[in-house]
Structure 1
């Protein structure tokens, strides 16, 4: 089912957002931890990949995302309504 695929990609986005935020907080107090910086960069790369995949298939995740004509941000369902 397409809704299940949409939810699966959205879950990946949410997971990578969590990882990137948590690693970013860790790096605020441990800025010289090379492994954490590497992990952070990997998480950000994956987050960008999953966000791009989601937005290409289902529309923008934020109002700052690129849109097609017609303007897609106001079209539903919104990611949190799934």
Structure 2
């Protein structure tokens, strides 16, 4: 049996709820390590729901390192870690600028981080293999060999 609700006369011109969300303001930024760990570049937005112990190792790499680590593998992982941290910064600032498009300070920081990310990606492509198709054309070995074939397949776990 379907029940049809008639609108209550007393609520027809009233709002049931009004949301109030304060506008985020530009301010101090976390460094790249802290930003990635906390999930935001903005200390004002870091509102953890519960207290945790600081992470000493990524869940992906925890317990997977052996005593004898290949130096090239170590360099690849360190460079990949830098790329991930700068990329997170770029993504978070891009989200901020979606709602604060006139913020010149944020745009300046974003421009610097985008440039830094491009340089790191180029360095990675030169030393190891391209991470994106944009890196292929900029790599000095482009046109000489199949650059995608130089890197491991994603499931091979070169950079965990």
Partners of 1:11 and 1:79 lie apart in 2 by: 16
CA RMSD of the aligned region, Å? Answer: 1.7
SS in 2 for 1:24: helix
Q: Which runs of 5+ in 1 are unaligned?
A: none
For 1:55, the equivalent position in structure 2 comes to 125
Give the structure, 1 or 2, with the largest relative contact order (CA under 8 Å, sep 6 or more): 1
Question: Structure 1 residue runs of 4+, over 6 Å off?
Answer: none
Higher CA-based Rg: 2
Q: Which runs of 5+ in 2 are unaligned?
A: 1-70, 137-141
Say yes or no: does 1:16 pair with 2:86.
Answer: yes
The TM-score with structure 1 as length reference comes to 0.86
Partners of 1:79 and 1:53 lie apart in 2 by: 20
Equivalenced residues, count: 82
Say yes or no: does 1:40 pair with 2:110.
Answer: yes
SS in 1 for 2:133: coil
- Which shifted more, 38-47 or 64-73? 64-73
CA contact (8 A) 1:61 1:79 kept: no
Post-superposition CA distance 1:2-21 (Å, at most 9, x none)? 11111111111111111111
SS in 2 for 1:40: helix
For 2:148, the equivalent position in structure 1 comes to 73
Partners of 1:75 and 1:44 lie apart in 2 by: 25
Looking at secondary structure, tell me which structure has more helix per residue: 1
Say yes or no: does 1:30 pair with 2:100.
Answer: yes
SS in 2 for 1:74: helix
